[in-house]
């Protein structure tokens, strides 16, 4: 029997999907069930309102919203829930993603959106931030996160050792 999703991931367009896959990879690696949908703050505002407005009742604990350009999706999502919302600004051709970053990052006071960077690192960090939020009330998940952090140290030490052999 599959677990109910704890993280809801929404994106403004299916073209955003390749750019946010690292968030899904992180959630899978930590064993966190999630669901993913395409919905637009501009083209399907009622769909966004319904999904996010019912997210808590449906068992979700974190929302990740990815959008590019006039990236209002995370802000609109946050306006319809008290769950934490993590915005992924999706890079665009127009300004290299600066438009998306500013649209996601510059939320007015009172309705926060946690914003990560663009690119694959940003998507990965969105997944990790969702893990951290969930780990606040899940000791087993907190332990997995601590082990992950320890593995980062080992990874860097190996890279340093390889570099030292080259010089």
pLDDT in tens, the chain (167 residues): 469 999 999 999 999 999 999 999 999 999 999 999 999 999 999 999 999 999 999 999 999 999 998 889 999 999 999 999 999 999 988 787 888 998 898 888 999 999 999 988 999 999 999 999 999 999 999 999 999 999 999 999 999 999 999 99
- How far does Cα 161 stand from its chain's mean position? 33
Q: Which letter does DSSP use for residue 101 in this model?
A: H
Q: Is residue 1 part of a domain?
A: no
Number of folded domains in the chain? 2
Quick one: pLDDT at residue 1? 47
Region of residue 21 (phi > 0: left; psi between -120 and 50: alpha; otherwise: beta): alpha
Same domain, yes or no, for 165 and 151? yes
Same domain, yes or no, for 94 and 155? no
> What CATH number corresponds to the domain at position 124?
3.40.50.1970
Which structural domain range is residue 84 located in? 7-136
CA-based R_g, the chain, Å: 17
Coil, helix or strand for 9?
A: strand
Same domain, yes or no, for 80 and 161? no
As a whole number of angstroms, the distance between CA 109 and CA 76 comes to 14
Tell me the H-state helices in the chain.
Answer: 17-29, 45-53, 73-79, 98-105, 119-135, 139-166
Q: Is residue 126 part of a domain?
A: yes
Quick one: pLDDT at residue 129? 98
Give pTM, 2 decimals: 0.93
């Amino acid at each position: 029997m599959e677990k109910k999703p704890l993280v809801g991931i929404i994106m403004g367009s299916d073209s955003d999907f390749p750019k946010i896959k690292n968030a899904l990879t992180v959630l899978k690696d930590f064993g966190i069930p999630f669901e993913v949908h395409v919905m637009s703050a501009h083209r399907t505002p009622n769909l966004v309102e319904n999904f996010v407005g019912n997210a808590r009742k449906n068992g979700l604990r974190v929302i990740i919203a990815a959008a590019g350009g006039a990236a209002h999706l995370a802000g609109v999502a946050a306006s319809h829930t008290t769950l934490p919302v993590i915005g992924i600004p999706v890079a665009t051709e127009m300004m290299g993603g600066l438009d998306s970053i500013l649209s996601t990052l510059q939320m007015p006071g009172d309705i926060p959106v946690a914003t990560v960077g663009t690119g694959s690192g940003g998507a990965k960090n969105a997944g990790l931030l969702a893990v951290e939020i969930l780990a606040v009330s899940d000791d087993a998940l907190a332990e997995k996160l601590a082990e992950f952090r320890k593995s980062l140290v080992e990874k860097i030490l190996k890279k340093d050792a390889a570099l030292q052999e080259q010089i």
